[in-house]
Amino acid sequence: MEYMQVVIGILISAILSENFILVKFYGICPFMGVSKKTDTAIGMGMAVTFVMAIASAACWFVDAKILQPLNLGYMQTVAFILVIASIVQFVEMFLKKFVPALYQALGIFLPLITTNCAVLGVALVNVQKGYDFLQSVINGAAGGLGFTLAIVLFASIRERVDKTDCPECFKGFPIALISAGLMALAFMGFSGLKIF
Amino acid sequence: MNFKKQFVEGLLTKNPVTVQLLGMCSTLAITTSLFNGIGMGLAVTIILTCSNILISALRKVIPSQIRIAAYIVIIAGFVTIVDLAIQAFLPDLSSSLGVFIPLIVVNCIILGRAEAFASKNGVLASAIDGICQGIGYTVALIIVCVIRELLGSGTFGGGLLNNGEGIRLIPAQFPAMQIVMPVGGFLVLGFVLAGSQWLMKRLDSKK
């Protein structure tokens, strides 16, 4: 029972109070780059959630079953990035073969996920916090959901902000960053949220 | 070899942070004190220069189909070296930057320069490019750090000067704490980018 509480706590905090983008700053590049339209933002969010859950699982295995027994902890970064790159490649091939509709929808975003720091970040944080297998996967999936939530909300704000008449030098990225800042302010409201 | 042109590009006209908008994660996350900014900037500059040199030396050997994977392995190797060195010699920096040191692997600046410059140019030019882009990144980080630290904690040079306390410029009860929190990262960087766009416009119109 206590274990379930911990798991639910990880789930809620990864989505809201420890939101990967707005609180922890993992994955800002795709957040700024792929948030011009709500549709593409949803696609990106789904792809990232999927890869983050699988990568958390795979990196947990690599760390616990290969690196730790062999005392190769210092190779973590290199090993994880290779695992992530091959997972992204594998997911791409799998989707192309079996779910072509989803593959079409995600398009260019799939290969870009390799260099999304949210994915490597979640793998490293899982090890740092000493999560077990289930907790790692939950943390990965919930982190991805938090990413999706933030990017979809932000894309819908940005669609409107782009049409507004703001000072010349604020056009484009500066005003987008400031909108993101105001969103982060709203998410700070969740920071007192302690489930258990 | 046009050193001056590369320097101006790295620092101003093609600054990785304010113009190319690369490596935003670390720019936003760690810019809470001058110490962090300088440490992160130096770490990135060293890794960027080393990986640029090695990648440009190997550019004719690496097959183009697997080049991205090869670049990432090279970069991850250098990041691991720097990470271990910081853990050994600067444990304070290591604990305050945390997971953002290993995350330099996926910092788009490094992969971006590898793809856009080092894979097409000679070793010396790539080394200079690495140093110039690294300096541009460091300067941008320092600007954001100084503003955030001043407004958020009311100090200057936290972690470095005055036994790590920093020089207090604003009395302790006044600073807006939110500026050193995530919110402030987005807001301050937004205003810095706006300022740099304004500056670029001014420079363009003067020409």
How far apart are the C-alpha atoms of A27 and B81, rounded to whole Å? 24
Environment class of residue A89 by beta-carbon count within 10 Å: exposed (0-12), middle (13-18) or buried (19+)?
middle
Close Cβ partners of A94 (under 8 Å, ≥ 6 residues apart): none
A194 confidence band (pLDDT: 50, 70, 90): low
Q: How many domains does chain B have?
A: 1
Chain B residues 28-47 with CB within 8 Å of chain A: 28-29
Q: B120 in contact with A at a CB cutoff of 8 Å?
A: no
Locate tokens 């982190």: which residue?
Answer: A143
CB pairs under 8 A between A and B: 122
Amino acid at B164: G
DSSP structure class, residue B156:
E
pLDDT at residue B162 greater than cutoff 60: yes
Among residues of chain A, what percentage have pLDDT more than 70?
95
Interface contact B95, partner A, CB < 8 A: no
A192: pLDDT strictly greater than 90: no
More confident residue, A6 or B56: B56
Provide the pLDDT confidence category of residue B204 given band limits of 50, 70 and 90.
confident
Tokens of A122: 């979640």
pLDDT beyond 90 at B43: yes
Q: Tell me which residue in B102, B182, B197 faces A184 most closely, judged by beta carbons.
A: B182
Is B76 at the interface with chain A, CB within 8 A?
yes
At A193, the pLDDT band (50, 70, 90 cuts) reads: low
In this structure, are residues B139 and B11 in contact, taking their beta carbons and an 8 Å threshold?
Answer: yes
pLDDT tens for residues A86-130?
A: 888 888 888 888 888 777 776 667 777 877 888 888 998 888 888
Give ipTM to 2 decimals: 0.82
Polymer length in residues for chain B = 207
Task: Check pLDDT > 60 for residue A195.
Answer: no
Distance CA B54, CA B76 (A): 13
Note the residue count of chain A. Answer: 196
Q: Rounded to an integer, what distance in angstroms lies between the CA atom of residue A62 and that of residue A73?
A: 10
pLDDT at A31 over 90: no
- Structural domain that includes position B12: 3-205
Mean pLDDT to the nearest integer, B182-191: 89
Q: Do B182 and A124 touch (CB under 8 A)?
A: no
